[in-house]
Amino acid sequence: MKRWLILEDGTYFEGEGFGAPTNVFGEVVFTTSMTGYQETITDQSFNGQIITFTYPMIGNYGINRDDYESIVPTCKGVVVKEYARIPSNWRSQMTLDTFLKNKGIPGIAGIDTRALTKKIREVGTMKASIVDIGDEFAHAYDQLKAAVLPTNQVQQVSTSKAYPSPGTGHNVVIVDFGLKHSIMREFSKRSCNLTVLPYSATAEEILALAPDGVMLTNGPGDPKSLPEAVKMIQGIQGKIPIFGICLGHQLFALANGADTYKMKFGHRGLNHPVREIATGKIDFTSQNHGFAVSAESIDQEVLMITHVEVNDGTIEGIRHRKFPAFSVQFHPDAAPGPHDAVHLFDEFIELMEAWKEQKERAKTNRYF
């Protein structure tokens, strides 16, 4: 079946439909990942977005049971140059086409993804639609122009109820803004006892659980649409160690007086070089974000910039100068992508241990 990919500026591409037979609207973005399409499609940070893959063939190793980053993906559509109809991999359980049909996500193939990516880089991300050819083009384009994209993205993807992931080590509260399974996986490797809370959790609810640390996860959308999360962070920092990733990083920055802004086309891919300022060490990182922290807005007496993106100099990491709290814009959990920065989970474990020792010493000193 023939389909159109129509952009907000009137540009359109004709291709072959696959996946679910449905028409959708969303924000069209691109990712430069050469692999990891299952993790990308199931990453809730892509909520409401039409994902363009710059790598020319997608689907060649199928879909397997191990690489989900969420059970119910909420991206709007998938755009590829070519999709593999017959995958070849010993772990494969189904084709990409079958997977997208099962999840209600349409795809379009045969698109000149290089031209599309160049358009997004020049113009910026924009509204787009994937529609079956059959309706009059003018009508489909009018519908796209009239479409209003939702702004309650985190509410759509966050858990509605708290739930545990038992372990025997440190007690960590995870605030779910669009949680990737790989974040929980890294904590589980370190035997942490996890409690996942909704995005709307208050500081009082978190502190009542007496955790050893709090993880602020990745997630979709504009961080400024979550003032309640900013208030929550202000209520717990200084009282408990904090580690933020992606959206959690942006919210942590907002909670400490910094500002954020929408990027022209964002960072999405597995090959983003990030420099740690203190050591000069460069990690290649997995990233997926359309907003960033403004460098000019950071109060250097409150926050210390720890990481920057090598290509464009954007802020990739900050640390609080007084409190045990830090955050990064990239994904140290990878999935997909390189594991260069996975050591940050170990640093958070060490931060929680040091915080506990400090509290124990303070308690002991009160008795002598």
Q: Which of 176, 246, 283, 320 is catalytic?
A: 246
- Is 250 annotated to bind ligand? yes
Q: Is 246 designated active site?
A: yes
- Is 247 annotated to bind ligand? yes
Specify which residues 182 forms β-bridges with.
Answer: none
Q: Rounded to 5 degrees, what are φ and ψ at 37?
A: -65, -30
Long-range contacts of 320-325, Cβ-Cβ distance < 8 Å, separation of 24 or more:
320/237, 320/242, 320/256, 322/238, 323/237, 323/238, 323/242, 324/240, 324/241, 324/242, 324/351, 324/354, 324/355, 325/237, 325/241, 325/242, 325/243, 325/244, 325/252
Radius of gyration of the chain (CA): 21
Alpha helices for the chain (secondary structure H)? 37-41, 96-103, 113-123, 137-146, 153-157, 181-189, 203-208, 227-236, 247-255, 343-366
Distance (Å, whole) CA 140 – CA 161? 39
DSSP state of 229: H
- Is 219 annotated to bind ligand? yes
Q: Is 75 designated active site?
A: no
- Is 221 annotated to bind ligand? yes
Q: Which of 181, 272, 307, 331 is catalytic?
A: 331
Distance (Å, whole) CA 187 – CA 211? 14
Two tokens, residue 122? 């020049």
Long-range contacts of 184-192, Cβ-Cβ distance < 8 Å, separation of 24 or more:
185/333, 185/335, 186/332, 186/333, 186/342, 186/345, 187/215, 187/345, 190/345, 190/346, 190/349, 191/167, 192/167, 192/349
- Is 18 annotated to bind ligand? no
Q: Which of 67, 97, 176, 333 is catalytic?
A: 333
Distance (Å, whole) CA 80 – CA 60? 12
- Count of beta carbons in the 10 Å neighbourhood of residue 316: 29
DSSP state of 240: B
Q: Is 339 designated active site?
A: no
Residues, the chain: 368
Distance (Å, whole) CA 209 – CA 205? 7
User: Do residues 188 and 167 lie in contact, with contact meaning Cβ atoms separated by under 8 Å?
Assistant: yes
Q: What are the residue numbers of the active site?
A: 246, 331, 333
Please give the annotated binding residues for L-glutamine, written as ranges: 45, 219, 221, 247, 250, 288, 290-291
Please give the annotated binding residues, written as ranges: 45, 219, 221, 247, 250, 288, 290-291
